[in-house]
Structure 1
Amino acid sequence: MTLPHLAIVMPAFNEDEGIRGFIDEIRDSVASLADRVSFHIADDRSTDSTAAVFDDVADVTVEVQPVNRGHGPTALAAYRAGLAANPSVLVHVDGDGQFYGRDFPRLLAALTQADADVVHGVRDGRTDPWYRKALTAAVGVLIALAAGRRIPDVNTPLRAYRPDALRVLVDAIPADAAVPHVHFSLAEARAGFTVRYLRVASIPRRGASTTGTMWGRGSGVSLPPKRLRQFVRGALAEAWALSLRPSAPLRSIRRPEPASR
């Protein structure tokens, strides 16, 4: 099956070392699967040349955000930019390039063959510091208790969505949400979205510097940075307010009637 229009969306911050090569790799992998492929980058006020890397590339649009707001709000901005292009399918992935382009056709095949609303790329072999893995595991336990079932890799940034399903999620969440993918995963489970999970390889961030990531990189960092500890406290409060408390607004999300596919 050939898609009429595939949109790839990315939040990015200081990724000029690797982002162009990553997009080239994705394009090569999916070009035969869609009549049109477009890339939409939300740049979170990078201090390097990320915003200018694609000045000469026709299928890539870069929207520099008004202020630096962090990963969650920038991911939501990328989603909205992709939805505005009216794609047939939308794929989200972080601009740090921690996946192989060859897994994108597998993600799309899982979405179309299962007639799913969303496919999550479940990361194998993560090279993140131990505390990021521990945080993901702890959040996974919390969300499993709330959803009534385990959700693999609850915060994975690699996701393929049907636009009708994604719009329901994006429209329901505040633009400044810090952990939108956690909210998405829980809402999908509660609302009966058709979700598929696909194991994919996770690789180190592309690029030699550490300026493109908030939380540090590699396994040698022994303690969580203070900024991460502050982020976790805020994210937990947000999760309670938006998704977990009995009257949380995101509890009202309902799966849309599937559009013609």
Structure 2
Amino acid sequence: MTDLTIVMPAYNEADGIADFLTDLDTRFEPEVRIIVVNDASTDDTAEVVEGLGLSRVELIDSPVNVGHGPTTIKALQAGVAAGTRMVMAVDGDGQFDVGDMHRLVDIALAAESDVVEGSRFERGDPLFRMLTSLATRVLVASRCGMWPKDANTPLRVYRADVLADLLGRIPQDAMTPNLFMSVLSRRRRLALIEIPVKCGVRRGVTTEGSTWGQRRRWLPTKRFLRFCTDAVGQWFGTRIR
């Protein structure tokens, strides 16, 4: 029996989330729970999730849009509240291979790890994304003295009791909760494993992400740049316990 809850934040993922959830429902054991936290999407994400009629899938529908970071935290909190031994976090865009996801859970169980991180490779990101990824590694290393392979990966498996402790140590409005988790997991010397995983394009008709708005593929949007500026300000203004 796999004592696991899978949680995911979702924003405007109506195009591809049905395929992703159906894939998870097919590949994971029947007792595994799935929780989707919809961040007040402006498309039919909530209706698509409910329309699947999958008994193991729970939808939490936020009344107002609060952003990816706080929605991720809300999803993680819901995972802890589910009462399972382990919680897996993943974004709702379906970029990760479900086989890789299952492999991370198997590794976490076999190694009795506190945290398993899925480190993305073969991403095919534009230069500005590669530079952003490098910057996040520098930010995390500056706080804990260790270099993560993928500081901001959204694919992680946690022991639920460990996750509950970590959540109590980061701001509830954190714009980059995965970076805070990367710091805390290393600073607190948790049993941590990093596993390489494939990362493709988001599922659905539109393969570009919906969070940052329309852009030329090789250039960041103004929204993305504004987010980075605000997130860095919050990062340096927050004391990590």
Give the TM-score range, shorter chain: over 0.9
**Percent of paired sites with the same residue:** 38
For 1:25, the aligned partner's letter is: D
Structure-2 separation of matches of 1:11 and 1:183:
17
Q: Please tell me the residue identity of whatever aligns with 1:241.
A: G
Match of 1:169 in 2: 166
Runs of at least 5 residues in structure 2 that lack an aligned partner in the other structure: none
Aligned counterparts of 1:222 and 1:116: Cα–Cα separation in 2? 38
Task: Give the 5 Å matches for 1:1-261.
Answer: 2-3=1-2, 5-31=3-29, 36-55=31-50, 56-209=53-206, 213-215=210-212, 221-242=217-238, 248=239, 250-251=240-241
Residue identity opposite 2:15 in structure 1: E
The alpha-carbon deviation at position 129 of structure 1 amounts to 3.3
2:213/2:223 contact within 8 Å kept:
no
- Deviations 1:165-222 (CA, angstroms, capped at 9, x unpaired): 100111222221100000010011111111100101000011123685223589x523
SS in 2 for 1:228: helix
> Which region of structure 1 is more displaced relative to structure 2, 122-131 or 177-186?
122-131
Partner AA of 2:27 in structure 1: S
**What is the alpha-carbon distance in structure 1 between the residues aligned to residue 203 and residue 28 of structure 2?**
20
Letter in 2 for 1:129: P
- The amino acid that maps onto 1:10 is M
CA distance in 2, matches of 1:224, 1:207: 22
Superposed CA RMSD in Å reads: 1.8
2:35, 2:124 → 1: CA distance? 26
Mark the runs of 5 or more structure 1 residues left unpaired by the alignment. 243-247, 252-261
> With structure 2 as the length reference, what TM-score do the two structures score?
0.93
1:138-182 deviation line (CA, Å, top 9, x unaligned): 110222232112111000000000001100111222221100000
Which SS does the other structure have where 2:83 is aligned?
A: coil
Q: Is the 8 A contact 1:210 1:217 kept in 2?
A: no
8 Å CA contact 2:201, 2:207 repeated in 1 = no
Give the number of equivalent residue pairs.
239
CA offsets 1:31-90 (integer angstroms, 9 cap, x no match): 1xxx61111111011111111123222111111113111110111111111211111111
Structure 2: distance between partners of 1:20 and 1:127 = 25
Instruction: Kindly provide the amino acid, as one letter, of the partner of residue 37 in structure 1.
Output: V
Structure 1 residues 210 and 99, CA gap change in structure 2 (3 angstroms): closer
Q: Provide the C-alpha distance between the structure 2 equivalents of 1:83 and 1:170, rounded to a whole number of angstroms.
A: 10
Give deviations 1:12-48, integer Å, cap 9, x for gaps.
Answer: 01111111211221232221xxx61111111011111
Give the letter for the 2:36 counterpart.
I
Q: Aligned equivalents of 1:213 and 1:239: distance in 2?
A: 24
Letter in structure 2 aligned against 1:223: L
CA spacing shift, 1:74–1:211, aligned 2, 3 Å:
farther
